[in-house]
Chains A and B, each alone.
Chain A
């Protein structure tokens, strides 16, 4: 009987196993893992937690020897029981077959079936000793009792340290062998189990198929679902009137009827609340009211606020986009105009309360200040000037255009007789024109860009100074009166005087020969650096040349033509020289550097005045034929008029031009001056100078002359007046010269 019952038990077990192995494996594994994880951390508490942790494993290991067939990996220490084993194996197989065939066993088996699917038996422990330290059993041959109260024996042979070591060395599965204290067995973990342990140690989920990042399903979101979350039908009580409430209400009604409850007393003082407050008006003004600034009223609405505005007040798409992008403070209108086809479509204005609230804030929080607004008629601001008509003559229209140059014309000069016009251009030629007919009389190639050109002001001579590269050429155009031509040529030829040279001269005078002489070039004054400007003294004997250089004192030379002598009047460098000019009557010399105009007395050899131009960079200066006034143009669009008797500061600064002023000029006879600028205009101004010292000069702009085309950002480069007529010549970057009369 015993045997049979034992066999039954075994059968039971195996059956159970075959069915449950798959199901329970997971649990097992979990528990195993727990153990593995915890083993690392808390070795001390091991004894306490062991039992529960191993509980899942009991299935496989609790029944001493009988059940190792499930896995061949499990090491069986007990070699002696092998035979038994085989028998049992066979029997279980038979049983299984029987089961498959549908044959039923006895009642007992049926009873046991109830527990077949009972998976909640985590407490199903084969060893019933409970949660105790297992070392209490170390002196006994068994390690506990099974469910029937029979002893569970320890494995027969215990491993000592040597065994352990040998095992460690030889057994390839040693690393995956775990000792189960409760059953006293070693368990070898399968690959899946090891994998699971690893995964859990990495902090991952035990189940491979588990997706941690499943898309969340939001049950309570802002979207209105078509189906309710709960499918519970509404209670009946929500459809029928509440009896309890009815009772309560009827009680209250009764109480009110009987006069037990009285309505809250309302103070009705409307009769005496208001009275004629201003019955006795006293006009005494409090101190506060003197400083009182009444709040401005809310501005009245315009057409655009209408519910049905004219179509032009509605926003276009672009305007709407702009409005939406703007900050609320920058918007011209605080709302978007809208059109409604009828009054019933008009909705409530959503910002109504906001706007009223903002008004409240303005009333009590906004600082107030009295501001005087001046109503100025803009016409009154315009100064009353004499009419240009009354200031005639002045050039008004463009009458001639001199064409022929192929590059920008940098400089022009009119002969003292007024019959000829010389022009120097970047194309390396000097051209001579007849003023009245615009005919080019002569062209001289000088072999370099002509920077400056100046006609000798002496009417008895017919000479021209030309600045080309680093030399100044004296040119005799041989135009006009033969007497004059011959006298000037004689002057150039005759003045042969060898002056003893003291050391190396910076300037070399040389006479030309051959081709150049044939063209009319008589003398060549070689300078050490590039010459930018030449200008004659009024008498026609002296000639000044400018070589702007910031680092040297050799910037200005004064040459004497009759004696072929040159001298550098300045010992020290006072800045980059921009332009020089001779005083028309007195022995004064004007030197314009970047910011200042210095006036030197050539006789006394000292500086007499220093004019402050108040501009960043002077471009050109011109001296009034009277000699008491100077104008200077600057690259920062200004033209300053200096009255030398008045002050060293400009008497007037004119900002007429939009671009840099390139050139300025006075008329010799008429009270006119002109400025030429990069904006392509020449502005002619009337500037009367009075002999009375008390009266300031009268400056009136009279004409803006246009005609030049702006090329390469350059407009008009040079401007000069006709010596006798109220005509003006201008040369521009468009390679033309224009005459305005």
Chain B
């Protein structure tokens, strides 16, 4: 036959991928350096579609990089810097060994450094790209800013992280872009909308960490190196978008506003413009408008309120949240610098307290627990303060990130909040009881049906026994046929028969989908049942105490 013999694995997907070890050899880097390079440049392994083809017929587990990615790394200037640094370390060690202190001094002065600016620019060609990817950067910087200065990483990194996160928080305050807050057992989640991007970050509670031993801090430090650079540039850009100077001065207390934010009125005017829309879009437009209005009210939710934070509440978080929504906030002078007014100020409307009781009370202010602030933000309305007074069992704190679809379980507290949002007043428990009665009635109906069925079964039994069939005529009962129910049954049967005729492949897919759906329903039912049991228990307890 004509033509040359084609060898296997020399064309197609096998040539597009390269294993990690080969990549490392190609780049002539040690494994730690390769790892650093991958982290900084954002290179990650790819899972090939046909692993066996790429792996040259073997099924051994291997990680593959795209060959193009590795080629792209070849020309990275930072690789040269890595090598320089390696040589620097070698020279320094030698100088130390020979106790040539002048040489040590000289070497230290000329320590090779590198910048990541070009990498940031390359990874995020536009500012929006950078914003989209800033979640992880924020989380990591907030974590590092809480580290103690005890050798897990450089002190400069910690201070830099602290500075950048404070700058970020101040930007969020100034631009009023915080949307949701959630106190979880891990920490406090915040969600802000910056330039149309939803950015979520998690801040750990202010405790010292007990550092785990099975965590490689070098990896985290490399990531932080990249993230601080990214966050710095993003902050710069964001501050400039608000016509503010970057870097700002003295912000750590989160009390002083950056500058009187320039003319928000103008922006509002711009937003209120309406464009001629088609009729179909009218509804959407209306919905959007409504949302816009809601957003505006949410932004000003704490405006005109004056808060005072007791020393036991998480000051930074609360100050951040309150100021994001236009409230005034202060704290005791001894807690932190930057307090603007004292406890004795008569104009304070809310004092946030997290202890069983307070010795000295002022009449004209509410003493509330910190959850109120967060719940108000999430509900977008000022919630009634009665549920959050001192010593009161708090209502559950719900995640604002959950959006329930049809058929999902919705906790009753959420329903209440939704009712409040619609402007309905919370009604008394009587209604609930009525509901209960209705339920009972329904149950009764069900019971009747069941009884009927039982009777029928018994009759059948008697028939089947044959001999014991009594020759006795009982007055017949009119069987009321429910036409709706009949129709439903018919339809259900039709569907069942049609499902029987499905092809095997489709049946498998269908079964899988239905299984998922059923599991969802089952989980929702389980939650509902658990809730019901809990409520019943509560009710029983109440009755007992009443009696």
Contact = CB atoms under 8 A, between A and B. Distances in A.
Interface of A: 270-271, 273-278, 281-289, 291, 293-295, 297-298, 300-303, 305-313, 316, 335, 337-338, 340-344, 346-350, 352-357, 359-361, 363-369, 376, 378, 381-385, 387-389, 401, 403, 654-656, 699-704
Contacts of B125: 281-286, 289
Nearest to A354: B212
Interface stretch (B79-87, B127-135, B437-445): B127-135
Contacts of B182: 301, 305-306
A359 B219 CA distance: 11
A277 B117 contact: yes
B96 interface: no
A313 B527 CA distance: 7
Contacts of B312: 344
A287 B71 CA distance: 11
Nearest to B156: A266
A303 B398 contact: yes
A349 B204 contact: yes
B139 A303 contact: no
Contacts of A300: 189, 200, 399, 401-402
26 contacts: A274-B235, A274-B246, A275-B233, A277-B120, A278-B233, A281-B127, A286-B125, A291-B68, A294-B132, A300-B189, A306-B397, A306-B399, A310-B398, A335-B186, A337-B185, A343-B371, A346-B183, A348-B205, A348-B209, A353-B212, A364-B219, A367-B63, A378-B510, A388-B497, A403-B464, A702-B497
B370 A367 contact: no
B292 interface: no
Q: Which 7 A-B pairs rank lowest in CB-CB distance, beginning with the nearest? A: A369-B47, A348-B207, A300-B401, A367-B47, A367-B45, A312-B531, A312-B530
B209 A276 contact: no
Contacts of A355: 186
B185 A338 contact: yes
Contacts of A378: 510, 513-514, 517
B184 A307 contact: yes
Contact of A346 (B35, B205, B504): B205
A343 B209 contact: no
Contact of A349 (B43, B127, B186, B497): B186
B185 A346 contact: yes
B166 to A, nearest CB: 13
A530 to B, nearest CB: 32
Contacts of A276: 236-237, 240
Contacts of A305: 182, 184-186, 399
A335 B136 contact: no
B459 interface: no
The CB with the most chain B CB atoms within 10 A, among A273, A285, A343, A363, is that of A343
B397 A298 contact: no
Contact of A353 (B43, B209, B369): B209
A355 B140 CA distance: 11
Contact of B215 (A335, A354, A369): A354
Interface in B301-330: 312-314
Nearest to B164: A274
A381 B509 contact: yes
Interface string B179-205: 000111111010000000000100011
Contacts of A703: 497
Contact of A343 (B183, B212, B216, B466): B183
Interface of B: 35, 38-39, 43-47, 49, 63-64, 66, 68-69, 72, 117, 120-122, 124-127, 130, 132-133, 135-136, 139-140, 143, 163, 182-187, 189, 200, 204-205, 207-212, 214-216, 219-220, 223, 232-233, 235-237, 240, 246-247, 312-314, 354-355, 369-371, 393-394, 396-399, 401-402, 411-413, 463-464, 466, 490, 493-504, 506, 509-510, 513-514, 517, 527-528, 530-531, 534
Contact of B354 (A285, A338, A342, A364): A342
A702 to B, nearest CB: 7
B141 to A, nearest CB: 11
A352 B396 contact: no
Contact of A311 (B64, B136, B497, B530): B530
Contact of B220 (A342, A347, A360): A360
Nearest to B139: A356
Contact of B399 (A286, A303, A350): A303
Contacts of B397: 306-309
The CB with the most chain A CB atoms within 10 A, among B49, B210, B313, B501, is that of B501
The CB with the most chain B CB atoms within 10 A, among A311, A350, A654, is that of A311
Nearest to B230: A277
B122 A286 contact: yes
A300 B232 CA distance: 25
Given A271-B247, A282-B125, A310-B398, A347 B207 contact: yes
B115 to A, nearest CB: 9
B502 A376 contact: no
A343 B314 contact: yes
B209 A356 contact: no
A356 B143 contact: yes
Contacts of A308: 183, 371, 394, 396-397
Nearest to A298: B135
Contacts of B396: 303, 306, 308-311
A288 B69 contact: yes
Contact of A363 (B63, B136, B184): B136
Given A274-B233, A343-B183, A353-B212, A287 B47 contact: no
A376 B509 contact: yes
A306 B183 contact: yes
Contacts of B413: 310
Contact of A381 (B46, B126, B510): B510
A355 B184 CA distance: 15
Nearest to B528: A312
A408 to B, nearest CB: 16
The CB with the most chain B CB atoms within 10 A, among A288, A291, A365, is that of A288
Nearest to A345: B354
B487 to A, nearest CB: 11
A349 B314 contact: no
A388 to B, nearest CB: 6
A8 B463 CA distance: 130
B371 A274 contact: no
Contact of A297 (B47, B135, B394): B135
A357 B220 contact: yes
A386 to B, nearest CB: 10
Given A349-B186, A360-B223, A383 B247 contact: no
B47 A363 contact: no
Contact of B133 (A274, A294, A312, A352): A294
A376 B509 CA distance: 9
Nearest to A288: B72
A350 B132 CA distance: 29
B358 to A, nearest CB: 14
Nearest to B508: A381
Contacts of B117: 277
A301 B189 contact: yes
Contacts of B504: 655
A286 B64 CA distance: 21
Nearest to B513: A378
B510 A382 contact: yes
Nearest to B507: A381
Nearest to B132: A294
A606 B156 CA distance: 96
Contacts of B46: 291, 293, 367-369
Contact of A364 (B39, B209, B211): B39
Contact of B219 (A302, A313, A360): A360
A274 B210 contact: no
B354 A343 contact: yes
Contact of A368 (B44, B140, B490, B495): B44
Nearest to A702: B497
A382 B121 contact: no
